[in-house]
């Protein structure tokens, strides 16, 4: 919020701006599901025909919301009555991310539940989700898929929904995130809390077909350059990856050989300029390659354990 002037013809979709090492710092821009087909409008909070007469749009715009008309429609759709709309609007105007106010984020063509105090999944992470789905589909019947550092488990949820029969487990250090992960996975998977592999049941040791992770990878010195919505509303531990951003990734990749089966796969989101360092952190002998999607500024390093 509070960064860009309103535009006469805003793009229809928005997302949180996000920081990648070496990239220009972006603020709120595209894609959080304003065109979501599930959006309906509450009769308790009807919208004036002309947006220029809509006090909610005016208030959001004054607070710096670039996509004020779209946000007004989403807030109205989320509110059962005027009191609830007033509450949601107050939170949004105070600077809370739209997604945590609404209770969902658009991710890979679906809604993923999210709430205050956790990391809001970014659109770029859809590359990791697509990669995980592809690897899981290729792994045969009933693949074992683990998402570490799962947050609300957006990636694991996509894999669980798109790969029938997959046995999906998601884990995070933060119990609040794990509760959201459990909500999103429902009966399709399991969510557990703990520090990296400490969270996993011993029965999975050496049996994981696909391991995916979007661990924190922002260098400590760069956290201060992140958009204010992240700095003010996402716990620092969700983004701060240490001096070069790769502390958690290195710990994670140091442990993969004990958990991923021979011939199994690991895919890790990272920054474009960090990709070579991430690749170098894979165990010796693994076949490693870098995937890149410029459209969403996404980088994933994937590696296969030798058979
Ligand atoms: C950048 S967020 C990504 C969350 C999720 N993967 C996503 O893409 O939406 C990183 C996540 O890693 C978790 N995390 C950080 N350190 C961890 C650790 N040592 N063990 C497990 N999870 C950790 C944080 O709690 C946070 O949810």
Residue minimizing CA distance to atom 1 of ligand 1: 216
What CATH number is given to the structural domain containing 247?
Answer: 3.40.50.150
Same structural domain for residues 221 and 274? yes
| DSSP state string for 196-210 | GGGGS-GGGTTTEEE
For residue 156, the SS3 value is: helix
Q: What is the mean pLDDT of the chain?
A: 87
Taking the C-alpha atoms of residue 245 and residue 250, their distance in angstroms, rounded to an integer, is 10
State the average pLDDT over residues 51-65. 91
Taking the C-alpha atoms of residue 70 and residue 28, their distance in angstroms, rounded to an integer, is 13
Q: What is the dihedral of CA 105, 108, 111, 116, to 10 degrees?
A: -30
Same structural domain for residues 7 and 146? no
| Segments in the chain forming alpha helices (H) | 55-62, 68-78, 82-93, 98-102, 126-138, 154-162, 175-185, 228-233, 247-259, 275-280
**Separation of CA 127 and ligand 1 centre (Å):** 17
| Confidence bin at 46 (pLDDT 50/70/90) | low
Same structural domain for residues 96 and 134? no
**Separation of CA 114 and ligand 1 centre (Å):** 14
Ligand 1 pocket by C-beta < 6 Å: which residues?
A: 119, 121, 125, 149-151, 154, 172-174, 177, 195-196, 214-216, 237-239, 248
222-260 residue pLDDT tens? 999 999 989 999 999 999 999 999 999 999 999 999 999
Residue minimizing CA distance to atom 2 of ligand 1: 238
Question: How many residues are listed for the chain in this entry?
Answer: 307
Count Cβ neighbours within 10 Å for each residue of 167-189 and write b for 16 or more, e otherwise: bbbbbbbbebbbbbbbbbbeebb
Domain that holds residue 81: 1-102
Taking the C-alpha atoms of residue 167 and residue 146, their distance in angstroms, rounded to an integer, is 8
Ligand 1, residue 118: give the atom nearest the CA.
27
Same structural domain for residues 286 and 138? yes
255-300 residue pLDDT tens? 999 999 999 999 999 999 999 999 999 999 999 999 999 999 999 9
Same structural domain for residues 80 and 148? no
Listed residues 35, 67, 102: the one ending a domain: 102
Do 272 and 257 form a contact (C-beta atoms < 8 A)? no
In a domain, 215, yes or no: yes
Ligand 1, residue 217: give the atom nearest the CA.
1
Total domains present in the chain: 2
Listed residues 67, 102, 137: the one ending a domain: 102
């Amino acid at each position: 919020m509070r960064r860009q002037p309103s535009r006469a013809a805003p793009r229809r979709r928005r997302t949180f701006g996000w920081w990648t090492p070496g990239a220009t710092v972006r603020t709120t821009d595209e894609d959080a599901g304003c065109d979501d087909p599930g959006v309906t409008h509450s009769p308790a909070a009807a919208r004036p025909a002309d947006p220029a007469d809509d006090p909610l749009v005016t208030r959001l715009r004054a607070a710096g919301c670039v996509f004020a008309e779209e946000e007004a429609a989403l807030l109205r759709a989320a509110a059962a009555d005027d009191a609830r709309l007033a509450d949601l609007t107050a939170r949004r105007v105070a600077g809370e991310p739209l997604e945590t106010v609404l209770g969902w984020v658009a991710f890979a063509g679906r809604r993923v539940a999210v709430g205050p105090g956790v990391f809001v999944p970014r659109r770029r992470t859809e590359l990791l989700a697509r990669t995980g789905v592809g690897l899981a589909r290729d792994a045969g019947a009933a693949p074992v898929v683990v998402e570490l550092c799962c947050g609300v488990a957006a990636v694991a949820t996509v894999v669980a929904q798109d790969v029938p029969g997959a046995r999906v487990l998601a884990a995070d250090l933060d119990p609040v995130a794990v509760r959201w992960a459990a909500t999103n996975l429902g009966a399709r998977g399991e969510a557990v809390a703990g520090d990296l592999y400490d969270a996993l049941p011993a029965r999975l040791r050496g049996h994981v077909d696909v391991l995916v992770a979007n661990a924190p990878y922002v260098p400590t010195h760069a956290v201060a350059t992140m958009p204010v919505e992240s700095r003010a509303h996402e716990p620092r531990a969700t983004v701060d990856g240490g001096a070069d951003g790769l502390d958690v990734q290195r710990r994670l990749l140091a442990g993969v050989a004990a958990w991923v089966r021979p011939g199994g796969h690991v895919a890790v989101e990272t920054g474009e300029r960090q990709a070579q360092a991430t690749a170098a952190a894979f165990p010796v002998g693994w076949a490693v390659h870098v995937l890149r999607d410029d459209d969403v500024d996404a980088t994933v390093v994937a590696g296969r354990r030798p058979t």
